[in-house]
Structure 1
Amino acid sequence: MFNLKSLRRNKTVKYGVPMLLLVVGGSFGLREFTQIRYDAQKIRKRLDPSLEAKVNVQKQSVILEEEYEKIKEMNLDEWKNIRGPRPWEDSREYQEQQRRKLSNKD
């Protein structure tokens, strides 16, 4: 009886132990909830098997030399660098201006 009364009065047992249980138990609970989140994201990101096969084939078939040959065949001398519209400019109006400039130069 004496030990039980002294434990009830002890501040460490009264406040510290529940706090410690809350912190440790909370970390385990959060781990479970975050695991559910990551599992759901993994399921959502899965592709259709036929589409995934196409993507994998395309990734494997890219060869650096072939890409270099494609770029080498392009005519880069007549290439024009046209900047996009600024946020305050009307994009359609700016595109029309750029098209008129290009057609006048040709």
Structure 2
Amino acid sequence: MFNLRALRRNKTVRYGVPMLLLVVGGSFGLKEFTQIRYDEQKIRKKLDPSLEAKVNVQKQSAILEEEYEKLKEANLDEWKNIRGPRPWEDSKEYQEQQRSRQNRKD
């Protein structure tokens, strides 16, 4: 047979195996705690099924169609590029100057 005293003196068996067991065991233990966290988040975010069906299906298709109609009606060929105010400029005063310049050009 093998000598138990030699095994006890071996540093790999004495320090390495317990360390490996702690790392692997800790990984499985933490997995359970994180799973509880994610399960709780799913429960909090869950909506009533009837409410969820109303919100998702009808609203998304209606909004997309409305936005498409608005874009079709908008005149995208005639627009004016107006520079926005810089952080150190007064925005209302600058906007008034821009509007007066645009009116003079027209």
TM-score (norm 2): 0.61
- Which residue number in structure 2 is paired with residue 72 of structure 1? 72
Equivalent AA in structure 2 for residue 39 of structure 1: D
In 2, the alpha carbon distance for the partners of 1:21 and 1:60 equals 54
Q: 5+ residue gaps in structure 2?
A: none
Name the residue aligned to 1:60: 61
Q: Distance in 2 between matches of 1:24 and 1:84?
A: 58
CA distance in 2, matches of 1:25, 1:9: 24
Alignment of 1:4-43 (within 5 A): 4-43=4-43
* Structure 1, unaligned runs of 5 or more: none
Q: CA RMSD in A?
A: 3.3
Q: Deviations over 1:16-42 (max 9, x none)?
A: 110110111122123223323333443
Cα distance in 2, alignment partners of residues 84 and 48 from structure 1: 45
How many residues matched?
Answer: 100
| Partner of residue 89, structure 1 | 88
**Percent identity of equivalent pairs:** 62
8 Å contact from structure 2 (residues 7, 13) kept in 1: yes
Greater CA deviation, 93-102 or 20-29? 93-102
Residues 63 and 38 (structure 1), Cα distance of their counterparts in 2 relative to 1, 3 Å cut: same
Partner of 1:105: 102
What is the rounded CA distance, in whole Å, between the counterparts of 1:70 and 1:5 in structure 2? Answer: 85
In 1: Cα distance, 2:39 partner to 2:32 partner:
11
Q: Normalising by structure 1, what TM-score?
A: 0.61
